[in-house]
A and B are shown apart, each in its own frame.
Chain A
Amino acid sequence: MNAIIDPIVLYVGLAVGALGVLIALPRRGVNPQLIGIVLAAAGFGAVIGVLAYLGAQAGESLSVFFYVFAAIALLSALRVVTHQRPVYSALYFILTILASSALYLLVGSEFMAFALIIIYAGAILITYLFVIMLATQAPTEQDVGIMSPYDAYAREPVAATATGFVLLAVLTGMFATGVPRVAATGDAGAGLREDPALLVHLPGRVIRGLEGRDVFSVFEKPERGELVDGEGPVELDLERGVVGLMLREGGDELLARRLAEETRDVRFAELFIGVGGEGGPGLPPAGVVAAGGPVLVGLPEDVAPTNLDGVGWTLVAGHPVTLEVAGVILLMALLGAVVLARKQIELGEDEKEAAARLASHGGTFGGPSSGPDAFAASVGPNTAPPGEPARSTPAEGTPSSSLEDRRE
């Protein structure tokens, strides 16, 4: 890539952004966060605006929704960092996640977009919210509305902002200095598609797609063997992906013609139907298309592999071991979290008394310790700490506990 942005514009934009982030970080005393956020937005917006201008000049304008969701993602990330209340930070992070999943959708990566929402917004962020609410002291009467000091102001805001934006300047410096150009595959502007060569691995998809068009009988009920090329010699474009389907000896010329004409405009991938093709399952030598030879047709558009096909195939066929390792990592994290969070806190005298009273009552809600202990009992005898003999007894459903349930 050549240098596309004037370095002065880039660095001035970043400097304004840095100033804005610095102002927006929480601090003691006067806290003009709104001004900071507007400044930061102006800084980032300047750079993105220049990029948009360049893209439009190159005839490659992005969807307007990109700018909308990029703005939402950036500013809500900024709010995560600058908001003084942790719960709001987490909620703004959910907004970041939603915006970036919209950005995934804009480039046609729908599987990851929805996976992101489910995993991040649905699972991880809920855990964060739980922990934030678990690990916050309840405000007492007199200090409602007073934040904890560690939330109220940032530590070393100047150094942090400087570090961050120098890093950003180095990262985005290639916009101003240029790096070797990378050619895009496919024709930009016309829209890119999933790699059609993937269809070679997904014959079931081709067959289903052709079945729906009522031409699949060509392959199933051959009647005559002669096949002619519909429109003269057509070059086989191997780079766009070729799916070979053999017509059996004695195929139906009429149906094959219909298939060719129906799908001629949709040159998604070349499907050729041949009789007794050479070299593999129906693959004739490239360029050899003559009367009586294979007929080139395009595949119907709905046969094109989708993003889901691509991700699924690559995940399972390309990275099976990594997938297993990821599962093992998750399992280890699960066990680690259980081991870490199981650790008992020392109960004060009052809580011990209350727990003992509840235990003698036979209630299942025996203080804060009964939950983890019940879990430990179900995990196995080895994990139960030896020094605590009788605490898990109330969790085992005694007759009196069921009596209490009935009373409630």
Chain B
Amino acid sequence: MTTACAAISLAGWAAQAASGAPASVLGPEPGAAIGAVVEPGLGPIGLYHYLFLAASLFVIGVIGFISRRNMIIMFLCTEIMFQAAAIALIAFSRFHLNHDGEVFVIFVLTIAAAEAALALALVVLLFRRKESLDSAEWAQLKG
């Protein structure tokens, strides 16, 4: 796990170094004004970084939701998908310098909290019925 983390981050850095551009450690150079703290922004390529990350997280969530059988893990995977959507929203919001995306993330968090409350109550209820968290136990529910 740790080595794999290091591998991905090294890949990013090495690619930057290989391109001949000065590899920056702290992001873009701050603005010329003395004492000015300029927030690092997002350019198009930076946006693609975030979008790829968001898409990958979303897909990992989808895979988990399909393949895991534990109902709690399934709901945890939906949270991963929420998280991916939130990252994409934040990235777009910062790219366009518009706060609507960030505000939308607040609503995503709201929905995630509501979903967690209801889904977990349901899971507890279902667990009491069958003493098992296996979603396949409920396969006879045919609607």
Listed in ascending order, the chain A residues whose CB lies under 8 Å from chain B are: 1, 4, 17, 21, 25, 37-38, 40-42, 44-68, 70-81, 86, 89-90, 93, 96-97, 100, 103-104, 106-109, 111-112, 115-116, 119-120, 123-124, 127-128, 131-132, 134-137, 148-151, 154-157, 159-161, 163-165, 167-168, 171-172, 175, 181-182, 184-186, 188-195, 265-266, 301, 307, 310-311, 313-315, 318-319, 322, 326, 329-330, 332-334, 336-337, 340-341, 343, 345
Residue in A56, A104, A128, A157 whose Cβ sees the most chain B Cβ within 10 Å: A56
Residue in B56, B62, B114 whose Cβ sees the most chain A Cβ within 10 Å: B56
Given the known inter-chain contacts A103-B87, A115-B106, A188-B43, please indicate yes or no for A55 contacting B49, CB distance below 8 A. yes
Q: Do the beta carbons of B41 and A106 come within 8 Å of each other?
A: no
B106 to chain A, nearest CB (A): 7
**Partner among A61, A150, A326, A340 whose Cβ is within 8 Å of the Cβ of B121:** A340
Q: Do the beta carbons of A171 and B49 come within 8 Å of each other?
A: no
What is the size category of the interface that chain B forms with chain A? 35 or more
B contact face: mostly helix, strand, loop, or mixed = helix
Given the known inter-chain contacts A191-B38, A333-B117, please indicate yes or no for A107 contacting B91, CB distance below 8 A. yes
Within 8 A of A (CB), among B40-61: 40-46, 48-53, 55-61
Q: Do the beta carbons of B52 and A172 come within 8 Å of each other?
A: yes
A100 to B91, CA, bound (A): 11
Q: Do the beta carbons of A333 and B23 come within 8 Å of each other?
A: no
A64 to B103, CA, bound (A): 27
B50 to chain A, nearest CB (A): 7
**Partner among B26, B30, B72, B106 whose Cβ is within 8 Å of the Cβ of A326:** B106
Residue in B68, B69, B118 whose Cβ sees the most chain A Cβ within 10 Å: B68
A63 to B49, CA, bound (A): 11
Task: Please give, as numbers and ranges, the residues of chain B lying within 8 Å of A163 by CB-CB distance.
Answer: 62-63, 66
A-B contact pairs, 11 of them (CB 8 A): A61-B22, A64-B24, A72-B5, A80-B64, A93-B80, A108-B39, A112-B90, A124-B116, A132-B72, A150-B134, A319-B103
**Partner among A56, A81, A137 whose Cβ is within 8 Å of the Cβ of B131:** A137
Q: Do the beta carbons of B120 and A128 come within 8 Å of each other?
A: yes
A237 to B82, CA, bound (A): 40
Given the known inter-chain contacts A175-B52, A193-B38, A318-B100, please indicate yes or no for A81 contacting B121, CB distance below 8 A. no
Task: Please give, as numbers and ranges, the residues of chain B lying within 8 Å of A157 by CB-CB distance.
Answer: 67
In the complex, B142 has a CB within 8 A of chain A: no
In the complex, B141 has a CB within 8 A of chain A: no
Task: Please give, as numbers and ranges, the residues of chain B lying within 8 Å of A64 by CB-CB distance.
Answer: 9, 12-13, 16, 23-25
Q: Do the beta carbons of A188 and B8 come within 8 Å of each other?
A: no
Q: Do the beta carbons of B60 and A74 come within 8 Å of each other?
A: yes
Task: Please give, as numbers and ranges, the residues of chain A lying within 8 Å of B128 by CB-CB distance.
Answer: 345
In the complex, B143 has a CB within 8 A of chain A: no
| Binary per-residue interface labels of chain B (103-116) against chain A in the complex, 1 for a CB within 8 Å, 0 otherwise | 10111011111111
Given the known inter-chain contacts A72-B5, A77-B60, A322-B107, please indicate yes or no for A184 contacting B95, CB distance below 8 A. yes
